[in-house]
Structure 1
């Protein structure tokens, strides 16, 4: 099992390189590579012990319903691709429904441990999405709002090709936290929080996927 996980990360890094997201600071500037800021706490890297995991629903970001479910699905996919055995969502939802937790979607640590024991896993992954939003800004045309008497001195002819129409710029902001809890001891064996230091032009879901991947890699950086 350890060999399979090691091979996964080696192949991923060699062929894909570090996962990065594109962003920009100001209109008209070139896109630049942006890496997330990650804070972490690691108590255990015993992956053989925590090979079986259940990823519980993450809490939603403010004004972003279902962002927690998106994070839950992405985290499950990332762990599954890394070789971890993740409980299927349908089975997990059945247990949540039995415990009257499916509709609320909110699970505290004690409930998470109880659910983990019912599912027979060694660890449960819980977390939350802190920010998940896109802001749309409108940028005026080059000629809009300028003094018409100044335009000739600036070398612009707003009646011709130099006129640039207004455009929309969509900037996304995402942050998240996660914890891996030992079902038997109740200890938090790994926790992390992360965000990108500037707004990005990618869709929020793509940014969240990249962020969660980096957070998982910080737990499993021994395979780098």
Structure 2
């Protein structure tokens, strides 16, 4: 069942605030196959986030895409389930980043499409690409790319906002309803920007704004 709160709207509003506070510039374009039946997609899965190191980093970016997909009416597979399948089937990183390997993983996950994300540039200047692939024939049905530059002087408030977004993502995935989203958002705001293997506040901002920019070109179900 889809969340009862408009998480896409929530994310968009928060991203607009964060953008005004610190992100200097963002741009992105995307195209989709106009003959493809996006309304017929029952389930999808973000099977690969490439170009950045650390499992926590990749999981955060994947969760941001899951949030955007939910807002567009798709039903993304939980990230932990994807990681389990990849480990059980002994997929290598290089295999899962190809259209053929990703489509094979998608068939195992019993989804209609898979999403591949790549972050070829990761720093003050960040670039990101995303593709949605039909698992039956391996064709690309949607592709988008973008870039963002953020200033070095980020505020604690921007970290709290991005933490709230991340918390809402996790809360909605775990709770499956508005209660989980609200609880996750509160927890995320408190814990936003925690050091370690997770993305820094600046990288969270760049990633979240880019994901929002890219997925605007993806048709809603």
Classify the TM-score, shorter chain.
Answer: 0.5 to 0.7
**1:115 aligned to 2:112?**
no
Q: 1:105 and 1:112, CA in 2 relative to 1: closer, same or farther beyond 3 A?
A: closer
Q: 1:124 and 1:113, CA in 2 relative to 1: closer, same or farther beyond 3 A?
A: same
CA apart distance, 1:42:
1.2
Higher-Rg member (1/2): 1
CA apart distance, 1:175:
1.4
Q: 1:80 and 1:131, CA in 2 relative to 1: closer, same or farther beyond 3 A?
A: same
CA apart distance, 1:111:
0.9
TM-score (normalizing by structure 2) = 0.63
Q: Measure, in 2, the Cα distance between the counterparts of 1:18 and 1:76.
A: 16
Q: 1:115 and 1:105, CA in 2 relative to 1: closer, same or farther beyond 3 A?
A: closer
Partner of 1:189: 141
CA apart distance, 1:93:
1.6
CA apart distance, 1:47:
3.1
Partner of 1:215: 214
Alignment of 1:1-224 (within 5 A): 8=6, 12=9, 16=13, 19=16, 21-22=18-19, 34-44=24-34, 46-61=37-52, 64-66=53-55, 67-101=57-91, 106-133=96-123, 172-196=124-148, 198-201=149-152, 202=154, 203-220=202-219
Deviates most, 75-84 or 87-96: 75-84
Larger strand proportion, structure 1 or 2? 1
CA apart distance, 1:180:
0.2
Total equivalences in the alignment: 169
CA apart distance, 1:21:
4.7
TM-score (normalizing by structure 1) = 0.62
Structure 1 residues without counterparts, runs of 5 or longer:
24-30, 134-171
Q: Measure, in 1, the Cα distance between the counterparts of 2:95 and 2:23.
A: 35
Larger helix proportion, structure 1 or 2? 2
Q: 1:124 and 1:182, CA in 2 relative to 1: closer, same or farther beyond 3 A?
A: same
Q: 1:130 and 1:68, CA in 2 relative to 1: closer, same or farther beyond 3 A?
A: farther
CA apart distance, 1:107:
2.8
